[in-house]
Each structure stands twice: as structure tokens, then as C-alpha cells.
Amino acid sequence: MAESPTTNNDFTRLLVDDKEIILVGTAHISQDSVDTVIRTIDEVLPDTVCVELDGQRYQALINKKGWESLNLKEVIKKRQIPFLLTNLALSSYQKRMGLQTGVKPGAELAAAAQKAEELGMEVELIDRNIRTTLLRVWRKTGLWNKIKVMASLFGSLFEKQELTEEELAKLRENDTLSSMLDEMGKLLPSVKQILVDERDTYMAYHIRNSPGEKILAVVGAAHLPGIIGILQGDEICATTISDISTIPPKTTLSKVIPWLIPGIVIALFIGGFFFGNREELANAAAAWVLANGLFSALGAILALGHPLTVISAFIAAPITSLNPTIGAGFVTGMVQTFVAAPTVRDMEHVSEDLTTIKGWWQNRLARVMLVFLFSSIGSSIGTFVALGWLKDLL
């Protein structure tokens, strides 16, 4: 069990079992947070410094040439474009806020790790893998809440909000953060549970089990109340951590639906072949090709895809619509990557470019993602339009 915490302006100190745990709550785009972290490490000289990062985000912070290792073709093959896009949207929002304060998002976390390494201290990355977090949100959230999350996420990219260091300091206050989290819990309880509560549990567990007798943990101020409460309670069992570190499987319905429409279409064509008019069957086939091809090609055009990409959308969509294992976006994304490959500049500046509507189309990496999404959406629309035609023709 933990003793009551003691707090000063910079940190909160807890005694948990035989360990002294010092918690520093930060804002991820604040120079004041960077200075506070470095000063606190110098003052308390901990055995271990824990930071609110996973391995992927840590490498992204310290590796300035990280984009050179991005294999966009592999990302498309593994169907990770939506994940990449969401991740970029999140980092883009933080980066836009950081541009106002002149501080790179997560700079205080990188500074904490760097300072600890300079002083020969242990560094522990205590946050859950970001892909696991995002997939848990996606698969454990209902359709309506998914729509609200995506609308909020992409709407925030274009908000004109100015933040000063004084306003950031106010946001770090527990009362302000608690009221914001309570409001989020009312609107999106499942999202708040996964994004905040589960990560509080995950980080508290790893803080408590970090090596050394004096542990300093640097976490976002929003997580501070939750982590303190958990550390003051009973020890967390490893089974709980295993449970919240698992990506939920797809539901049976989500597995069946992609095959349902192709099954209906194939059944209609088979029925038309044996029992219908052969001329109408030819018209139905033409309707299927035109509806899928034209709408998918239109999506590629709206994304300002290369002419070869537009042609590939028209050709691929009628075929891929009958095969859920490969989508039109897979083909068009690949073609766009080959014929208009993103430059190093595009990759390095994509987060900044995504903060403006114009930037989405000017940045070649963003354009590949738009081609992938718009041609996929167009193909889906075309499938439903074609189904209406088939119903009348067959």
C-alpha cells in the first residue's frame, strides 16, 4: 500500500511499498514542462526514469530520419493506411499546437530520457503500444461513437486555437483536467476508458514494477490523478495488464459482412445465368463494371490521383468488390506510390501539411492516403448503386 502523497509545484511524491515514486505531470508541447523535467531529475536523482512512451513513439522522437525507414508499400499491403492516417492526424494536431509554443510535441519526454541516459540512470518506456490502444478503441466502440471520434479527430485539425504557456499551465491543473475527463467520460465512456483509464492502469503497473528504490515518472498531467489513485490502491495483477494489452478479435458480424455483398452479387449472376435473360445478364455485368469503376475512379480523381491511378481504379474496383481480401484502395494506393512516390520532404513535413486542407492534396504521402481512402469509398458506393441496378435487371 502507499502512504499519502506529498506535492510541490513540480512533482508529487508517493511511498509505495519500499519504493519512493516521484510523479511529474506535464503538457506535451510546453517548454515549462521540459525545464521542469530536467530540473526535477537533477534534484531528486532517481534510480530509474519512466516516461509516457512506447517503443514506437520513442523512436519517432529521437530518430530525426525515421521517415527513411517507412516502407509505404508494406503499409498498404498490411492494410495499415487507416492506422497511419489516424496516427498522423493525432501527431499533426499536437504539432500544430506545438508550433505556437515553439516546442516539439513530446519534447519533455525525450528530454527526460536523454537526461537519464546522460546521468547513467535506467530508462523505462511505460506506455502501452499505440497501435494496441487505437485498435482497442476501434474494435470496442460502437459505430455511432466511431463516427463521433473520427469527426472530432479530423475536425480538430483545422481548429484555430491559440495556446500560451500560461494557458498550458492552467490546463495542467488537476481540477481543470478532471472536469474535462469527466465530460469525455459522459460523451464517450468506452473511448475514455481505453484512452485514459486503461493506460493509467498500464503505466501505474510499470511504474510500480520499475527497478530501483527511487522512481521518477514523467507523464501527461491528464494521467496524474488516475495513476496516483491506482498506486495508492492494491497491487495490479499481471493478468489485468495482459487483458488490456490484447487487441480484441473482430466480431463475427464484421467478418461476415465483407463476404455478404459479394455472395449476393455472385448469387444474382448465377441465378440470372440459369434462369434469366442472357441479354439482361450482359447488361447487369456492364452495370456492375460501370458503377464500381466510375465511382472508384471518381474517388481517385477527387484525391488528385495520377491518371494511371484513375485508370487502375476503374479497372480494379469491379474485381476487388467481389474479393474482400483485397480492396480497390490497395491497388490504387500501390499505383499512386509507384507513379508519384512521396519525397523525403513530403514524409518529414506531413504532420505540418495535414493541418491545412490544401496541404492534404499537396503532400504526396497524404495524397497516397487520400487516393487509398477515396477510391475505396467510391468503390463501396458503386457496389451499392450496382446492387440496385442488378435487382432490377436480374
Give the pLDDT confidence of 341-353 residue by residue, as tens digits: 888 777 777 777 7
Which helix (H) or strand (E) is 344 found in, with range? Answer: helix 344-348
| Residue 253 CB burial class (10 angstroms; 0-12, 13-18, ≥19) | exposed
Residues 62 and 105 in one domain: yes
Residues 53 and 196 in one domain: yes
Residues 25 and 156 in one domain: yes
Residues 140 and 77 in one domain: yes
Answer with the one of 244, 273, 305 that is the final residue of a domain.
Answer: 244
d(CA 312, CA 290): 13
Answer with the one of 244, 275, 304 that is the final residue of a domain.
Answer: 244
Residues 231 and 265 in one domain: no
Cell of 249: 478479435
Which residues span the domain enclosing 149? 6-244
Of the candidates 375, 266, 289, 370, the residue with the CA atom closest to the CA atom of residue 327: 375
pTM: 0.71
Strand duo 214-220 + 19-26: pairing: parallel
Residues 141 and 275 in one domain: no
Q: Looking at residue 365, what is its pLDDT?
A: 87
Q: Looking at residue 194, what is its pLDDT?
A: 87
Residues 175 and 290 in one domain: no
Residues 274 and 179 in one domain: no
Residues 56 and 32 in one domain: yes
Side by side, which strands form the sheet with 214-220?
6-7, 12-16, 19-26, 214-220, 48-51, 122-125
The domain total for the chain is: 2
Long-range Cβ contact pairs of 229-234 (< 8 A, separation 24 or more) = 230/200, 230/201, 230/204, 231/2, 231/14, 231/16, 231/21, 231/204, 231/207, 232/1, 232/2, 232/5, 232/14, 232/16, 233/1, 233/2, 234/1
Task: Average pLDDT across each block of 10 residues of the chain; the chain has 394 residues. List them in order.
Answer: 59 88 84 89 94 86 62 72 69 52 70 92 92 84 70 60 53 50 62 87 95 93 90 87 88 72 71 63 81 94 95 92 82 91 78 78 89 91 80 56
Q: Looking at the domain assignment, is residue 180 inside a domain?
A: yes
Q: Looking at residue 139, what is its pLDDT?
A: 81
- Using only the alpha carbons of the chain, give its radius of gyration: 25
Q: Looking at the domain assignment, is residue 149 inside a domain?
A: yes
Answer with the one of 208, 225, 244 that is the final residue of a domain.
Answer: 244
Q: Looking at residue 98, what is its pLDDT?
A: 45
Q: Looking at residue 165, what is its pLDDT?
A: 53
Q: Looking at the domain assignment, is residue 266 inside a domain?
A: yes
Residues 63 and 119 in one domain: yes
23 - beta bridge partners? 12, 217
Q: Looking at the domain assignment, is residue 50 inside a domain?
A: yes
Q: Looking at the domain assignment, is residue 1 inside a domain?
A: no
Q: Looking at residue 95, what is its pLDDT?
A: 55
d(CA 118, CA 376): 49
Residues 182 and 264 in one domain: no
Give the pLDDT confidence of 178-228 residue by residue, as tens digits: 455 555 556 667 778 888 899 999 999 999 999 999 999 999 888 888 999
Which helix (H) or strand (E) is 176 found in, with range? Answer: helix 174-187
Of the candidates 262, 272, 343, 328, the residue with the CA atom closest to the CA atom of residue 296: 328
Q: Looking at the domain assignment, is residue 344 inside a domain?
A: yes
Q: Looking at the domain assignment, is residue 119 inside a domain?
A: yes
d(CA 208, CA 362): 47
Residues 336 and 312 in one domain: yes
